[in-house]
Chains A and B, each alone.
Chain A
């Protein structure tokens, strides 16, 4: 890594206190860094904690569920967890911006596109209607929305899903943030549109030097986009490393299982894609050992009792596992 990272998360723990009095330990000792212009892919099933990670970094949680985060979240060197609420609010949209999951529901149906795209700006200072329309048209043009001046005046229902997600990206870029959090930005889109939206994100990441956290459950999306991958399970990063290393030679059994569940275009045709048996861990009942142990085919009694050690596969490629996959034949199980 050449320059100081834009985002530097160290030993982040998050506990959610729900209105009915339960405490959910949703993030455990999460550490990661993203440099300017770099894309970090965060992969995991639903319930792995990847969305909470984004929301904790952003600092906007649920209105009724209190989130308590400890550790460090440094944005350009500034510790956000130590910052005042006013300072954190001031960073929303301008320091950190978010591209939301579903463009069908993340745009207000009764508010014109122009007013929503410029929200990061109007939250700070008044803009006249004319200024809003002009700025919005420029922002929309930058994300390749055709006929941007007309689209700025439109309401969300008049746009297709792909266009709406472009609007979502334009809204996120409006405040010229240093860090972009993209939470499953293409999950709700047609497969044909997914690629163009991801390419658009890549383009702006490169041209603006945006640090990008790309969250997905689909590890296949990250090839060629994310330089590094963090695999999350049960609120922990269980494996992290360069994309090629992690996908080609996964060390954690969970990563290997995730990779097996991705359809491949090349290679032998399998009749069925193997699913990972079992379901994500119950966060109300934390385990002392490895969270994946109950579902892991390599688990031994020790896995359920002691926290897994960090296995160093190579420079910058680590996996937290008692029994990491090491031999090449283990990486591709018998069909």
Chain B
């Protein structure tokens, strides 16, 4: 009998003679999960609550103190126009999370529906969905979002929807694979044979198995959205300046990298830590524990 120790990612069976050891009961969340969750909570609360404070104005320039180093008054310093980097970073979080929310919505609904349909009905529909995912994946996604922004004007809705659209193929594949594997294991066939209604089958068999995948997807999609929005704003295809977003602030600071590196590096650090926290949670909250990502052949 082998025991797979999921926490260390090693999952190596000891000798064939080892008897089945009682699998340890669901362990307490590791400290890392709590730290990651706390970080995300701080960012989210700051993005929600700080703008309500009097004196919060990420667009207000303190012309007396341009490019001021971090210190009291301006904890993360000010940018070249004297705007508070901390306030702008907090405001930028709103942009990032708005885009992420839209991405998850589009990705979950679109990918979930397509994946379920393809896995359930198989045949021509499956082929059509496969073709559509091929199509979407052969298009240079970043360029396409840039084109859309350039034609329709900058805005969180356009960006979030399109980034979501480009996550659809990945999500479709995963959901389809889950449905097919359930079918292979006889769940679906058995249920069909004993006359279970499709809606019940969906509720009792499919959804519980797809949900963990959806959870993992939500974390991944959030990081994808944050990074993509950052990249777009960085390239000047995000929000209209001076409206703050993480990529935008980082891009604005690159010209003064020599004299005032905090303008870029502070929001960049916040962005990296947020993505790290999301990755960490996604990895550790997934049922079955963390695993090394294995690229599935497409």
Residue of B nearest to A285 (CB): B19
How many residues of B are in contact with the other chain, CB < 8 A?
Answer: 14
Q: Compute how far the CA of A147 lies from the CA of B1 in the bound complex, rounded to whole angstroms.
A: 40
Query: B5, B10, B13, B14: which contacts A24 (Cβ < 8 A)?
Result: B14
In the complex, whether B16 has a CB less than 8 A from a CB of chain A is yes
**B13 proximity list for chain A (CB < 8 A):** 62
In the complex, whether A51 has a CB less than 8 A from a CB of chain B is yes
Whether B14 and A16, one on each chain, are in contact in the complex, defined by CB atoms closer than 8 angstroms, is yes
Whether B12 and A24, one on each chain, are in contact in the complex, defined by CB atoms closer than 8 angstroms, is no
Most buried by A among B3, B5, B16: B16
Given contacts A22-B21, A64-B10, A284-B21, contact A52 B15 (CB under 8 A): yes
Chain A positions 18 through 31: 1 when the CB is less than 8 Å from some CB of chain B, otherwise 0? 11101010100000
In the complex, whether B18 has a CB less than 8 A from a CB of chain A is yes
Whether B15 and A62, one on each chain, are in contact in the complex, defined by CB atoms closer than 8 angstroms, is yes
Q: Compute how far the CA of A55 lies from the CA of B16 in the bound complex, rounded to whole angstroms.
A: 11
In the complex, whether B292 has a CB less than 8 A from a CB of chain A is no
Closest 10 CB pairs of A and B: A18-B14, A64-B12, A65-B14, A282-B19, A26-B17, A20-B5, A47-B17, A16-B15, A52-B15, A51-B16
Residue of B nearest to A26 (CB): B17
19 contacts between A and B (CB under 8 A): A16-B14, A18-B14, A19-B5, A19-B12, A22-B14, A24-B18, A46-B16, A47-B16, A47-B19, A51-B17, A52-B15, A52-B17, A62-B12, A65-B12, A65-B14, A65-B15, A283-B17, A283-B18, A284-B21
Whether B14 and A281, one on each chain, are in contact in the complex, defined by CB atoms closer than 8 angstroms, is no
**B14 proximity list for chain A (CB < 8 A):** 16, 18-19, 22, 24, 62, 64-65
Q: Which parts of A215-234 form the interface with B (CB within 8 Å)? A: none
In the complex, whether A49 has a CB less than 8 A from a CB of chain B is yes
Q: Which parts of B4-28 form the interface with A (CB within 8 Å)? A: 5, 8, 10, 12-19, 21
Whether A26 and B15, one on each chain, are in contact in the complex, defined by CB atoms closer than 8 angstroms, is yes
Whether B12 and A63, one on each chain, are in contact in the complex, defined by CB atoms closer than 8 angstroms, is yes
Interface of A is mostly: loop
Q: Compute how far the CA of A282 lies from the CA of B12 in the bound complex, rounded to whole angstroms.
A: 19
**A52 proximity list for chain B (CB < 8 A):** 15-17
In the complex, whether A175 has a CB less than 8 A from a CB of chain B is no
**A20 proximity list for chain B (CB < 8 A):** 3, 5, 8
Q: Which parts of A73-89 form the interface with B (CB within 8 Å)? A: none
In the complex, whether A307 has a CB less than 8 A from a CB of chain B is no
Q: Compute how far the CA of A67 lies from the CA of B15 in the bound complex, rounded to whole angstroms.
A: 10
Whether B17 and A49, one on each chain, are in contact in the complex, defined by CB atoms closer than 8 angstroms, is yes
In the complex, whether A235 has a CB less than 8 A from a CB of chain B is yes
**B15 proximity list for chain A (CB < 8 A):** 16, 24, 26, 51-52, 55, 61-62, 65, 67
Whether B17 and A24, one on each chain, are in contact in the complex, defined by CB atoms closer than 8 angstroms, is yes
In the complex, whether A255 has a CB less than 8 A from a CB of chain B is no
**B8 proximity list for chain A (CB < 8 A):** 19-20
Residue of B nearest to A56 (CB): B15
In the complex, whether A48 has a CB less than 8 A from a CB of chain B is yes
In the complex, whether A280 has a CB less than 8 A from a CB of chain B is yes
Residue of B nearest to A55 (CB): B15
Q: Compute how far the CA of A47 lies from the CA of B5 in the bound complex, rounded to whole angstroms.
A: 20
**B18 proximity list for chain A (CB < 8 A):** 16, 18, 22, 24, 26, 283
Other A-B contacts than A46-B17, A51-B17, A64-B10, 13 sampled, CB-CB below 8 A, are: A16-B18, A18-B14, A20-B5, A24-B17, A26-B17, A47-B1, A47-B17, A52-B17, A61-B15, A62-B13, A62-B14, A62-B15, A64-B14
**B21 proximity list for chain A (CB < 8 A):** 22, 284
Q: Compute how far the CA of A16 lies from the CA of B3 in the bound complex, rounded to whole angstroms.
A: 14
Q: Compute how far the CA of A47 lies from the CA of B13 in the bound complex, rounded to whole angstroms.
A: 13
Chain A positions 230 through 262: 1 when the CB is less than 8 Å from some CB of chain B, otherwise 0? 000001000000000000000000000000000
Most buried by B among A16, A20, A22: A20
**A65 proximity list for chain B (CB < 8 A):** 12, 14-15
Whether A281 and B19, one on each chain, are in contact in the complex, defined by CB atoms closer than 8 angstroms, is yes
Residue of A nearest to B20 (CB): A282
Q: Compute how far the CA of A52 lies from the CA of B13 in the bound complex, rounded to whole angstroms.
A: 13
Q: Compute how far the CA of A64 lies from the CA of B13 in the bound complex, rounded to whole angstroms.
A: 9
Residue of B nearest to A234 (CB): B17
Q: B78 to chain A: closest CB distance in Å? A: 52
Q: Compute how far the CA of A196 lies from the CA of B122 in the bound complex, rounded to whole angstroms.
A: 46
Q: B32 to chain A: closest CB distance in Å? A: 19
Whether A283 and B10, one on each chain, are in contact in the complex, defined by CB atoms closer than 8 angstroms, is no
Q: Compute how far the CA of A46 lies from the CA of B12 in the bound complex, rounded to whole angstroms.
A: 18
**B12 proximity list for chain A (CB < 8 A):** 19, 62-65
